[in-house]
Amino acid sequence: MKKSIALVLSIVLTLGLAGCAAKNESTSAKTSVGNDKKVIKVGATPVPHKEILEQIKPILEKKGYTLEIKEFTDYVQPNLALNDGDLDANFFQHIPYLKKSIEEKKLDLDYTVKVHIEPMGLYSKKVTKLADLKEGSTIAVPNDPTNEARALRVLETAGLIKLKSGDLVTILDITENTKNIKFKELEAAQLPRVLNDLDAAVINTNYALEAKLNPAKDAIVIESKDSPYANVLAVRKKDKDKPYIKALSEALNSPEVKKFIEEKYNGNIVPAF
Measure the N-to-C terminal CA separation of the chain; round to a whole number of Å.
Answer: 78
- Could you give the dihedral angle defined by the CA atoms of residues 171, 173, 175 and 179, in that order, rounded to the nearest 10 degrees? 0
Q: Which CATH superfamily is domain 35-119+228-271 in?
A: Periplasmic binding protein-like II (3.40.190.10)
CB atoms within 10 A of CB 143: 16
**Could you read off the pLDDT of 205-264 as tens digits, one per residue?**
999 999 999 998 999 999 987 788 999 999 999 999 999 999 999 999 999 999 999 999
**121-222 is a CATH 3.40.50.2300 domain:** no
Domain residue spans of the chain: 35-119+228-271, 121-222
Count CA atoms within 13 Å of residue 140 on its CB side. Answer: 22
pLDDT at position 18 over 80: no
Confidence at 85, pLDDT banded by 50, 70, 90: very high
Are 120 and 220 spatial neighbours (Cβ–Cβ below 8 Å)? no
